[in-house]
Amino acid sequence: MPGKSKKLKSEGKLNYHIYSKGKEQSHLQCKCIKNENIFNCEFSIPTNISDINIRGNFWELFQLEDGNIGENEIYVLDTLKQ
């Protein structure tokens, strides 16, 4: 995520949809763990379907030292073939 100086609190979540053959299989959300300025998001994917598309968005909500609240957001699109 882009760096902002003097962040007091920061939380990240990944909101994603899993598609196979153009049909939505599931809509899930996972909380991500921050290590310095990098978020790690772990989630499971179905093993019984192939050609999976993952679409969603990652967002970070943070509070700055001056009390203001900000947000960063990234669109996610990936294809997995088993």
Q: Can you give the residue ranges of every domain in the chain?
A: 7-80
Chain segment 17-35, per-residue pLDDT in tens: 999 888 998 999 999 998 8
CA dihedral of residues 22, 25, 40, 33 (deg, nearest 10): 140
Residue 56, pLDDT above cutoff 90: yes
Chain segment 35-55, per-residue pLDDT in tens: 887 899 988 887 787 788 999
Per-residue tokens: 8: 């007091």
Per-residue tokens: 36: 């310095």
40 DSSP assignment? E
The residue whose two tokens read 């019984």 is 48
